[in-house]
Amino acid sequence: MLTVHHLNNSRSQRVLWMLEELGVEYELKRYQRDPRTMLAPPELRAVHPLGKSPVVTDDGLTLAESGAIIEYLVDRYGEGRFSPPPGTSPERLRYNYWMHYAEGSAMPPLLLKLVARRLESAKMPFFAKPIARRIAQTMQSSFIDPQLRLHFGYIDAELAKSPWFVGETFTAADVQMSFPLETASARAGAKSMPHIRAFLGRIHARPAYQRALERGGRYDYAG
């Protein structure tokens, strides 16, 4: 049976959601973040050398990276669902674009925002605190926040054209894009963007999404 190695509050939530959409049975192994570092526990390195989540095992195959996992699941179990037919149709090219955009373009400024905020609150000698805070604030105001506005303004405008990322039909690209949009809504002000907010409402209302929450446990970005 397919096994998902699931870390709380992580990208692996969308793997559970994809499996629920597909109707595939799976075993769930839960891992909890270190409360001090917020990193994955060392036990995950026994599954994959990088010790990160998500990781799935299926018939002797071990797969990491949520995008690669979702593509594998759709190819193996989708039976033509959740992706346009392979080829170079406009729909397929758009699908491929959003599958890669999620981690390649949308997530980097969100990760930089997280690093900057942690730098502001990090423990350090008192004389270094103002310097670190100034560096973090400058990073955010001069680069990170403008990049967030650029990317999520672009996404909001794209979602104004159609309910899903590949048009009128829900696909795995919507699953892949869910994590950056949920993260941006919680941490970067994307909640104020009407089309992103409407998209999140649509995905959160899907029965398969709700089943994934029940299986995976607490997920702070679902609200």
38: pLDDT strictly greater than 80: no
Cα–Cα dist 214/223, whole Å: 14
Length of the chain: 223
Tens digits of residue pLDDT in 123-138: 878 777 787 788 888 8
Percent of the chain with pLDDT over 70: 98
Cα–Cα dist 75/86, whole Å: 10
Domains annotated for the chain, with CATH where assigned, are: 2-83 (3.40.30.10), 90-206 (1.20.1050.10)
2: pLDDT strictly greater than 90: yes
Query: What are the start-end ranges of the H helices in the chain?
Result: 12-22, 66-77, 90-101, 107-121, 129-139, 145-159, 172-187, 194-204, 207-216
User: What is the identity of the amino acid at 154?
Assistant: Y
In the three-class reduction of DSSP (H, G, I as helix; E, B as strand; rest coil), residue 63 is classed as strand
Confidence of residue 7 (pLDDT cuts 50, 70, 90): confident
Q: Find the angle CA(10)-CA(14)-CA(17) to the nearest 5 degrees.
A: 135
Omega before 54 within 30 of 0, i.e. cis: yes
